[in-house]
Structure 1
Amino acid sequence: MKSILLIGLGRFGKNIAMKLREMNHEVMAVDRNEKRVNEIMPYVTNARIGDSTDEEFLKSLGIRNYDLCFVAIGDCFQDSLETTSLVKELGGKLVVARAASEVQAKFLKRNGADGVVFPEQQIARWAAIRYSSDHVFDYFAMDDDCAIFEVSVPDNWVGKSVGELNIRKRYRINILAIKADERIDMNITSETVLTAEENLLVLGKNKDMQKCFRI
């Protein structure tokens, strides 16, 4: 369990708060909008109404006491930048801020952000890949060149073993697990035979994935 400060309770911040609650973390949520604070109360440990660009207000939160500080402000980049800078100056151990562009990310990092997330870009990329292909069921980018895909077993792989297909050498792709009926089996050997009822969790470079699975 970690102690987390979450600043900004728009749709992105609210969803972070709800997920952190599922993970049993202690969350202090902050926003200047009273309605947003009231709505998030059932999902967090505590919540405060206040201006995160006000240094005295931030000091009252005890920034050094949190393991992680999320700056999830999305409606005003100036406020996000000032908040990020102040949180770091006041002793934020790990400060993660939301950005809408690479330019914003550069400014945030220069002003104290240890990490930056791009919610709009990330979900847009995921949706484009997920729904433009009939046999891709999920997608997670590791970096700009490498990703994990959940894909159906290609027709010409059905009934063949992993060793027989020689997937790693032939396609430069690693099978991490096999998913069937929402159960995940990570015990993959060269003798494992693939079936049409299964999905594969595979890791590789995007260009090799596109070529192999016609994404």
Structure 2
Amino acid sequence: MKYIVIGLGNFGSSIAEQLAEMGNEVIGVDISMSKVESMKEKITHAISLDATDMEAVKNLPLKDCDVVIVGIGEDKGANIMAAALMKQMKVKRIISRAIDPLQRTVLQTMSITEIIHPEEETAHRWAQRLNLEGVVDSFELDSNFSIVETKIPEEYHDKTVKELDIKGEFNILILTTMNVSEGKNELGAPTERNTVQGIVHADTKLYKDDIMVLYGHNKDIRKLLDQHKKFKEAQN
């Protein structure tokens, strides 16, 4: 996977370094040359430029990038402007940092739905989430076991927990499912709402694009997600 991380403060530099350690190609961007210099040996490339300047941003390999993370923190205006430029440049996937509810609302109004709250969430958690395709959210219980939210794939649609036998095949438990519905934020911009459906039973049916919450060993969860990825690629 190829990532561009804009803003190399504490959060941005941490998530960039961890993604690089996981074997990803990571380009770090910051207006501060000292921050860029401190990251040169830790990630694939580190570049000094103004991410709010359209002409400067055009020099970034955005078309080849899978994810752009806007991690600018202190300057909320620069954060929003950089995110807006990424939308304008039509990058594949944008994840932006938000410091407060108003900033979050503005980003949602720009149709940016993946928003990081570093005061509440760790860079490590987001790095883990980004490194597993299909993961909506994750929580590490220890170095081996995690609870993971992932979208229910098409091949599971309208099948029961008993029919799928994920416990038998992968040694993974489905703790619950969540229905995903469209809602609106305070400014009327569309946003997703997740409604927990309760503890699953053998006859609980799964529906594609809803979310299932899994518990298991990290290697077993990765095996399951890899199978989903291969099925999706075969369909395409």
| TM-score after normalising by structure 1 | 0.58
- Alignment RMSD (CA, Å): 3.1
Structure 2: gaps spanning 5 or more residues? 126-140, 150-174, 176-198, 202-213, 222-236
Is the aligned partner of 1:43 residue 2:42? yes
Q: In 2, Cα distance between the equivalents of 1:22 and 1:45?
A: 10
- Give runs of aligned pairs for residues 1-215 of structure 1, distance below 5 A: 2-122=1-121, 176-177=215-216
Contact (CA 8 Å) 1:21, 1:27: kept in 2 or not? yes
1:80-123 alpha-carbon deviations (Å, 9 max, x no partner): 00000001111211000001222211111222524101110235
Q: From the CA coordinates, give the structure whose radius of gyration is larger.
A: 1
Amino acid at match of 1:115: E
Secondary structure (helix, strand or coil) at the match of 2:119 reads: helix
Instruction: Tell me if the contact between 1:85 and 1:113 (Cα under 8 Å) persists in the aligned partners.
Output: no
Residues 84, 97 of structure 1: 8 Å contact kept: yes
| C-alpha spacing 1:185/1:3, structure 2 compared with 1 (3 Å) | closer
Deviates more, 1:26-35 or 1:98-107: 98-107
Contact 1:85/1:111 (CA < 8 Å) preserved in 2? yes
Structure-2 separation of matches of 1:19 and 1:92: 22
The separation in 2 between residues aligned to 1:140 and 1:8, in whole angstroms, is 29
3-state SS in 2 of match to 1:75: coil
The alpha carbon displacement at 1:44 in A equals 1.2
Q: Structure 1's 101 and 140: CA in aligned 2 closer, same or farther, altered over 3 A?
A: farther
Q: Is the 8 A contact 2:148 2:215 kept in 1?
A: no
Q: Distance in 2 between matches of 1:103 and 1:184?
A: 39
Q: 1:88 to 1:176 in 2, by over 3 A?
A: closer
Q: 1:184 to 1:108 in 2, by over 3 A?
A: closer
Aligned counterparts of 2:65 and 2:41: Cα–Cα separation in 1 = 20
Aligned length: 143
* Cα distance in 1 between the residues matched to 2:215 and 2:68: 32
Identity %: 28
Task: Give the residue type in structure 2 aligned to 1:111.
Answer: M
8 Å contact from structure 1 (residues 99, 117) kept in 2: yes
Which consecutive unaligned segments of at least 5 residues does structure 1 have? 127-136, 143-167, 187-215
Offset from partner CA, 1:193-215 (integer Å, 9 cap, x none): xxxxxxxxxxxxxxxxxxxxxxx
Q: Deviations over 1:16-55 (max 9, x none)?
A: 0111111111111100001100001111111111111000
Aligned partners of 2:65 and 2:219: how far apart in 1? 35
Using the size of structure 2 for normalisation, the TM-score is 0.53
Is the 8 Å Cα contact of residues 70 and 96 (structure 1) preserved in structure 2? yes
Quote the offset at 1:173 in angstroms: 9.0
Supply the distance in 2 between the matched residues of 1:91 and 1:141 (Cα, whole angstroms): 29
